[in-house]
């Protein structure tokens, strides 16, 4: 029976050409869109994780409640011991201490008077330790526009856009004016080692990046940090595992009422990141559902047109004693073969285009101007295992549903009517 149906499809290509083309186009779009959503939204999630939220973040309870204000007076203390404990308990994560701070960057003239100044959002990260991954994690080396990366204590990086606004060049000296951990005024001099551009408006608007030890000296935060962030060694966020780790860490502190007690939050428990992660999980389902409905409608119409043309064939088969149920089933079998063939072709084409975008990307930096949230400057797809089989779901379901809907007409036709059509 299978050989008979395949021969029929190969010899009468009008029965299979249009459905296969429709399925292939739909599957191609489904595969590409899934790779696009996984790539772009995944990159957005990971960028926010690397720069601000981490996959997991440890803060004091009071700091967590006022995180948007970056209250360094509520920062973690004895961070070295806490970091060592976290690395021992959760070795699948790489832990790093960071200090977020705000202040005023003052640029002096040759007489020491203020030439220009502007508000800055500062970040103290480990740039000088030989085993630190922070510079690579934030892609600082590739983001250098002028000058070089920080190599010595007392050096800083300024956002290129910010440095142009202040009229600062690499080698110039600037003064950071802010407040210490204890609330007193702080003024600390830095030499600009270089300028950076991340292609993200939220970062390029007014960022200063310094080594964490310099930040501690400037803000009087010895062995302290606003937060400890942990990132999975795999490079991708695992929400289920992250929640398990957070529960294991937080349980011993549940009865502790001290506002300086540490608390761990997952990526999805910070800001709007939970919505982004959930959207990434459900978008694949939406894509499949949309293409199943769209292709099923097209294939239903194609099946109706094909059925009208094949009523003569149906009449012969019924005259030979074939039952309507059997005839209906053979149409469904044919649709399965068509769906498999179209899904293979569409998946191959979809993966090809997804691979091109994954390698070369599409620059969208111009569209991100003015955005307060961090988005990647280029759209890149990410091909995963799911992309190799996700197209078969709409490909098979759509062809089967379309054929089932079109084939209902067989039961509405009387055998005598089909004979008359045959005679005509």
Give me the tens of pLDDT residue by residue for the chain, a chain 424 residues long.
Answer: 556 455 555 555 566 677 788 788 888 888 888 888 888 777 777 778 888 888 999 999 999 888 878 888 899 999 999 999 999 999 999 999 999 998 999 998 888 788 888 999 999 999 998 888 888 888 888 889 999 999 999 999 999 989 999 999 999 999 999 898 888 889 999 999 999 988 777 778 889 999 999 999 999 999 999 999 999 988 888 888 999 999 999 998 888 888 889 999 998 888 777 777 777 677 767 777 777 777 777 666 665 555 555 555 666 666 666 676 777 777 777 778 788 888 888 899 999 999 998 888 776 655 555 444 555 666 788 888 888 888 888 778 777 777 777 667 666 656 555 555 555 5
Helix (H) or strand (E) holding 60: strand 56-60
In terms of domains, do 92 and 200 share one? yes
Q: How many domains does the chain have?
A: 2
In terms of domains, do 81 and 188 share one? yes
In whole angstroms, give the CA distance from residue 397 to residue 339. 8
Helix (H) or strand (E) holding 406: helix 392-412
Residue 377 lies in a domain: yes
In terms of domains, do 88 and 201 share one? yes
Q: Quote the longest CA-to-CA distance of the chain.
A: 106
- Provide the pLDDT for residue 372: 47
Residue 378 lies in a domain: yes
Residue 34 C-alpha from the chain's centroid = 11
In whole angstroms, give the CA distance from residue 208 to residue 21. 54
**Residue whose entry in the numeric block shows the structure tokens 């962030």:** 229
Domain limit, last residue, from 185, 205, 236: 236
In terms of domains, do 165 and 222 share one? yes
In whole angstroms, give the CA distance from residue 294 to residue 399. 11
In whole angstroms, give the CA distance from residue 135 to residue 285. 37
- Provide the pLDDT for residue 409: 62
In terms of domains, do 204 and 318 share one? no
59: three-class secondary structure by DSSP = strand
Owning domain of residue 285: 2-47+275-423
Residue 245 lies in a domain: no
**Residue whose entry in the numeric block shows the structure tokens 């997804």:** 354
- Provide the pLDDT for residue 378: 67
Residue 264 lies in a domain: no
In terms of domains, do 67 and 185 share one? yes
Which residues, listed in sequence order, are joined to residue 208 by a DSSP beta bridge? Answer: 122, 158
Overall residue count recorded for the chain in this entry: 424
Residue 255 lies in a domain: no
Residue 254 lies in a domain: no
In terms of domains, do 202 and 279 share one? no
- Provide the pLDDT for residue 6: 53
pTM over 0.95? The answer is no
Helix (H) or strand (E) holding 227: strand 227-232
Query: Can you say whether the dihedral through the CA atoms of 239, 245, 249, 255 is positive or negative?
Result: positive
- Provide the pLDDT for residue 49: 83
In terms of domains, do 154 and 130 share one? yes
In terms of domains, do 303 and 370 share one? yes
In whole angstroms, give the CA distance from residue 206 to residue 214. 19
Domain limit, last residue, from 207, 236, 265: 236
- b/e sequence 262-296, b meaning 16+ C-beta within 10 Å: bbbbbbbbbeebeebbeebeebbeebbeebbebbb
In whole angstroms, give the CA distance from residue 286 to residue 305. 29
In terms of domains, do 73 and 13 share one? no
In terms of domains, do 35 and 182 share one? no
Residue 385 lies in a domain: yes
Query: Can you say whether the dihedral through the CA atoms of 209, 211, 212, 214 is positive or negative?
Result: negative
Task: Please name the residue ranges forming H helices in 154-260.
Answer: 160-166, 201-204, 212-219, 239-250
- Provide the pLDDT for residue 299: 63
Counting Cβ atoms within 10 Å, is residue 222 exposed (0-12), middle (13-18) or buried (19+)? exposed
Q: What share of the chain is helix, strand, coil (3-state, %, to 5)?
A: 55, 20, 25
In terms of domains, do 19 and 141 share one? no
Nearest Cα to 362, choosing from 101, 36, 116?
36
Contacts for 85 with CB less than 8 Å, ≥ 6 apart: none
Residue 198 lies in a domain: yes
Domain limit, last residue, from 210, 236, 262: 236
103: three-class secondary structure by DSSP = strand
Task: Please name the residue ranges forming H helices in 220-323.
Answer: 239-250, 273-309, 311-319
């Amino acid at each position: 029976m299978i050989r008979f149906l395949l021969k029929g499809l190969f010899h009468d290509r009008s029965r299979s050409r249009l459905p296969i083309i429709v399925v292939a186009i739909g599957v191609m779009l489904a595969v590409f869109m899934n790779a696009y959503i996984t790539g772009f939204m995944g990159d957005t999630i990971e960028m926010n994780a690397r720069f601000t939220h981490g996959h997991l973040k440890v803060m004091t309870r009071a700091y967590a409640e006022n995180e948007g204000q970056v209250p360094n007076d509520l920062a973690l203390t004895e961070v070295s011991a806490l970091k060592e404990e976290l690395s021992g308990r959760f070795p699948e994560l790489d832990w790093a201490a960071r200090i977020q701070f705000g202040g005023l960057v003052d640029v002096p003239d040759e007489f020491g008077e203020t030439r220009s100044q502007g508000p800055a959002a500062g970040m103290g990260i480990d740039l000088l330790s030989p085993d630190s991954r922070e510079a690579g994690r934030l892609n600082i080396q590739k983001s250098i526009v002028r000058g070089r990366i920080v190599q010595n204590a007392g050096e800083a990086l300024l956002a290129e856009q910010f440095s142009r606004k202040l009229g600062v060049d690499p080698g110039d000296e600037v003064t950071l004016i802010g407040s210490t951990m204890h609330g007193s005024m702080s003024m600390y001099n830095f030499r600009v080692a270089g300028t950076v551009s991340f292609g993200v408006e939220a970062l390029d608007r007014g960022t200063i990046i310094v080594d964490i030890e310099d930040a501690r000296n400037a803000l009087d935060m010895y062995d302290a940090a606003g937060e400890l962030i942990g990132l999975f060694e795999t490079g991708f966020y695992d929400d289920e595992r992250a929640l398990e780790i957070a529960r294991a860490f937080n349980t011993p502190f549940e009865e502790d009422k001290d506002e300086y007690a540490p608390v761990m939050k997952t990526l999805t428990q910070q800001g709007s990141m939970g919505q982004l992660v959930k959207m990434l999980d459900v978008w694949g389902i939406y894509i499949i559902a949309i293409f199943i409905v769209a292709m099923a409608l097209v294939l239903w119409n194609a099946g109706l047109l094909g059925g009208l043309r094949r009523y003569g064939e149906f009449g012969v088969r019924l005259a030979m004693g074939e039952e309507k149920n059997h005839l209906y089933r053979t149409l469904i079998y044919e649709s399965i073969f068509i769906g498999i063939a179209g899904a293979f072709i569409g998946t191959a084409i979809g993966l090809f285009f997804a691979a091109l975008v994954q390698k070369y990307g599409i620059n969208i930096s111009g569209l991100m101007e003015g955005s307060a949230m961090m988005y990647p400057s280029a759209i890149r797809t990410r091909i995963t295992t799911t992309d190799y089989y996700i197209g078969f779901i709409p490909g098979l379901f759509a062809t089967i549903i379309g054929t089932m809907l079109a084939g209902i007409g067989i039961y509405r036709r009387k055998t005598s009517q089909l004979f008359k059509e045959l005679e005509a």
